[in-house]
Amino acid sequence: MYRTINLLIVDDHPLFRQGVRYSLQEEHDIKVVGDAPSAEDALQFISVTPPDVMIVDLNLPGMDGLELTRHIHRTYPSLGVIMLSMHESDEQAFNALRAGAAAYYSKEISSVQLAQIIRRVARGEYVINEVMFDEPKVAQRILSQFRDLNRGVTTEADVDFSLFSPLSDREIEVLEKIAAGSSNKEIADNLGISTQTVKNHISSILRKLSLNDRTQAVIYALRRGWIDTPIDAVATALRGAAAVEAVEAVEEDEE
């Protein structure tokens, strides 16, 4: 028996809201509990019936999608926001991540893919479109934000991320290696420890952060400025960690 995911659609175009409802009607674990044409209407709805996940249009009238997402991130931190936009944009992807969105995609997304993203966001995962990391300037801006947080140049008013890290120095070190795309064996060789010790550190990291996999841990740490990853490795922080995780899973099955 699947847990039902309650979904709220926020978009100022009635036909789009209706289209999303129609495209998800065969997804028995996703229930559209409401839709709203504006951020203000959405906030009123949430105050009475909080959903699990929201689909938010970037370009809402009045309070825009980014402002709504920032408000949701502060007031309802467990509510996952999927930001949709008419056009893929590195700038918009950066701003969505910074505002607290759990996912960012173009409105050209397929209904199958949208359903998959809704489920992942409901599980607490981040699903930011890879286009965000395709432009070096955007990657540099993201990394600059994280490093400014560490130096105290950027305040919480600018970026609403917690700076407290429950991880040990060694766990941070392991996480930085993961972000660079290193495998467990490569991390072990680099740090002079056993592969099993690396696995123990990763298990500890995931347990402390209440996350499911290393990809989530990398994004979580990057957003909070806990790890210092070179600019040329930012693009691999998601793709590399996910790929390595798949390899590690296969290796564990073979053991």
pLDDT at residue 27 above 80?
A: yes
* 147 and 128 both lie in a single domain: no
* 188 and 243 both lie in a single domain: yes
Out of 91, 111, 132, pick the residue that ends a domain. Answer: 132
96-111 core/surface letters (b: 16 or more CB in 10 A; e: else): bbbbbbbbbbebebee
Name the more confident of 76 and 232: 76
Output the pTM of the full model.
0.56
Residues 56 and 79: beta-carbon distance below 8 Å: no
Kindly indicate the confidence band of residue 220, based on its pLDDT and cuts at 50, 70 and 90: confident
226: domain CATH number is 1.10.10.10
* 117 and 13 both lie in a single domain: yes
Percent of the chain exceeding pLDDT 70 equals 71
Kindly report, residue by residue over 110-129, the tens digit of the pLDDT.
999 999 999 988 988 777 64
* 192 and 122 both lie in a single domain: no
Dist CA 220 CA 209 (whole Å): 8
Name the more confident of 161 and 16: 16
* 119 and 166 both lie in a single domain: no
Q: What CA–CA distances, in Å, run from 36 to 39, 76, 101, 144?
A: 7, 17, 18, 35
3-37 core/surface letters (b: 16 or more CB in 10 A; e: else): eebbbbbbbbeeebbeebeeebeebeebebebbbb
Kindly indicate the confidence band of residue 100, based on its pLDDT and cuts at 50, 70 and 90: confident
Q: Going by DSSP bridges, is the β-strand pair 80-85/103-106 parallel, antiparallel, or unpaired?
A: parallel
* 122 and 227 both lie in a single domain: no
Give me the domain span that covers residue 63.
5-132
